[in-house]
Amino acid sequence: MTDYEVLRVFCGPDGGHGNPLGVVRDGAAVPGAADRLAVARQLGFSETVFVDDAERGVIDIYTPSLRLPFAGHPCVGAAWLLGVDRLVTAAGAVGVRRDGEFTRIEGRAAWAPGRALRRYGSAAEVDALDVPPPGEWIYAWAWQDERAGTVRARAFPGRGDGIDEDEATGAAAILLTAELGRDLIITQGVGSQLVTGVRPGGLIEVGGRVRRAA
């Protein structure tokens, strides 16, 4: 079995919850795309990161069913773990900054995989949703307090690969922030929290708390 560690990314204010992330620090131990996909499928997390150059922050991201050029929670988790100021993904260079307890990364909405952003009338409606059948990646959201920029969200990948609901989804948060054109505080899943911001040059920042899994 390949050596790996597990982080929880986008933890809530109490340090709980967060989306589990598998990290293979020695990417050279799993050099091929097919082998990396097999490892990601075996681990079963929504995403697994392979570190190809820790000093330069070069990473490679996989779900249990496909490779992703860019994804939010793997980038936030890897940035926190490696302590770098920049990551290199297949989509491009990703800026990193630290803001107190938050690790933030910046990317472009165009890098994010396609998601259907569906707005609901209330947080209670989002809470009551059943997992939809596979076929479409759905990000369901509603304002908790529009004036304050707080959002309730749930994410349903719809890939049919065993991940029925994603606890915290950075790429979807980037897309929603770009669409709304404003900074957000998002509560997703059972109790995860993401913070986002609009930055110059078409960049969107997403960040959160990271903890090592027990």
- pLDDT tens digits along 125-146: 999 999 999 899 999 999 999 9
CB neighbourhood size of 48 (10 A): 28
Q: In the Cβ-directed half-sphere of 105, how many Cα atoms lie within 13 Å? A: 33
Scan for tokens 């990646």, then name that residue. 137
Cα–Cα distance, 125 to 20 (Å, whole number): 26
Name the residue type at position 109.
Answer: A
CB 45 within 8 A of CB 35: no
Q: List every span in the chain annotated with CATH 3.10.310.10.
A: 5-105, 111-207
Per-residue pLDDT of the chain in tens (214 residues, 90 and over written 9): 789 999 999 999 999 999 999 999 999 999 999 999 999 999 999 999 999 999 999 999 999 999 999 999 999 999 999 999 999 999 999 999 999 999 999 999 999 988 899 999 999 999 999 999 989 999 999 999 999 999 999 999 988 888 899 999 999 999 999 999 999 999 999 999 999 999 999 999 999 999 999 8
202 pairs with which residues across the strands?
A: none
| pLDDT score for 7 | 98
Q: Assess if CATH 3.40.30.160 describes domain 111-207.
A: no
- At 161 the pLDDT is 84
Count of Cβ atoms closer than 10 Å to residue 135 Cβ:
9
| Confidence (pTM) | 0.95
Contact 153, 190 (CB under 8 A): no
Q: Which CATH superfamily is domain 5-105 in?
A: Diaminopimelate Epimerase; Chain A, domain 1 (3.10.310.10)
pLDDT in tens, 51-78: 999 999 999 999 999 999 999 999 999 9
Strands 138-145 and 116-119 turn out to be: parallel
